[in-house]
Amino acid sequence: MCQLLSMNCNSTASIQFSFTGFSERGGHTSDHVDGWGIAFYEPTGSRLFIDDKPAYESPLARFVKGYEIKSKTVVAHIRKATQGEVGLANCHPFQREWLGQTWFFANNGDLRNYYPELSGPYFPIGSTDSERAFCYLMQVLSRAFKDCVRPPAWTEVAEVLFEAIAPITRHGNFNFTLTNGDALFVHCSSSLYEVNRQHPFPKARLVDVDVEMDLSAVNGTNDRMVVVATEPLTVDEPWTALQTGELRVYVGGELAHARVNPAVERFLVPTVSMRTQAKP
């Protein structure tokens, strides 16, 4: 299993504070030591940083924490491998281009015996269940909108995603974040929490490390953002849990859409390693 962190804002903001606490889970306050990644949508384009070293001791993670990158949307992930060896090709977020936009995907879950029929244009590079699910979702989207040469509206994407997710969730927990930088699509099977930040910004203290920050010092009165994570990152903010089967869409730093599929089950965390499971 893994840990997810995402942010969506109405203007650009820094993820430094949240990422500082989050990366502690990569080998210090938690044993998610099998790599990490963070994708930023900055004003002039997107970029991704990944490393297969534990986030807590990765030189690249130290660089990212010290380098103020302001972005509208961020997707981050720290990995504890269940399927697929430790390596760069298996680090999330994964990325693909669709209709001239970069899409990033990060997943926390464990899809057992999940080998969807992939016939293009998206094929996995690594060997995780997560990347197979990502390729499948992008394949479904690219077919649903096969006559488009411009990206469809997020409302249309959400509708297609909602239907495509349900069959996947039968294979196990499927918590994910998926984004093209404009809309942040989030699905919860077992564990995701959301916090909204806007004026007046509070002081917040991280759960994972003794750091407190006055969020009003780094944000303007018109800034608005939502942060979503596998577990709350701060002790003194009102984090709320997403429901099992819930797909949420965040646009412009706030919730734009939420819909629950009651058929989605929450799986108990497996007690045996999925690394031993046979390929079909």
Residue 117 binding a copy of itself, by CB under 8 A: no
The residue from 27, 124, 245, 253 that contacts a copy of itself (CB under 8 A) is: 124
Strand extents, DSSP E, 30-69: 36-42, 45-51
Instruction: Give the nearer residue to a copy of itself in terms of CB position, either 138 or 229.
Output: 138
Q: Is the dihedral of CA 4, 7, 13, 18 positive or negative?
A: negative
Residues that bind a copy of itself (rule: CB under 8 A) add up to a total of 37
Considering only CA atoms, which of 40, 47, 39 is closest in space to residue 12?
Answer: 40
Alpha-carbon span 31 to 70, nearest angstrom: 28
The residue from 14, 48, 246, 256 that contacts a copy of itself (CB under 8 A) is: 48
Considering only CA atoms, which of 64, 57, 7, 65 is closest in space to residue 31?
Answer: 57
The contact pattern for a copy of itself, residues 56-75, with x = CB under 8 A and - = no contact, is: ---xx--x---x--------
Residue written as tokens 């407190």? Answer: 212
Alpha-carbon span 46 to 55, nearest angstrom: 21
Residue 121 binding a copy of itself, by CB under 8 A: yes
Residue 2 among the catalytic residues: yes
Catalytic residue among 2, 9, 135, 188: 2
The residue from 5, 7, 39, 50 that contacts a copy of itself (CB under 8 A) is: 50
Residue written as tokens 């909204």? Answer: 196
Alpha-carbon span 48 to 198, nearest angstrom: 27
Contact of 52 with 88, CB cutoff 8 Å: yes
Q: Which stretch binds a copy of itself (CB under 8 A): 81-89, 153-161, 229-237, 262-270?
A: 81-89
Instruction: Give the nearer residue to a copy of itself in terms of CB position, either 43 or 200.
Output: 43
Euclidean distance between the first and the last CA atom of the chain, given in angstroms as a whole number: 22
The residue from 29, 126, 251, 265 that contacts a copy of itself (CB under 8 A) is: 126
Residue 47 binding a copy of itself, by CB under 8 A: yes
Q: Report, as residue numbers or ranges, the catalytic residues.
A: 2
Binding site for a copy of itself (CB under 8 A): 42-50, 52, 59-60, 63, 67, 85-91, 96-97, 99-102, 119-126, 142, 149
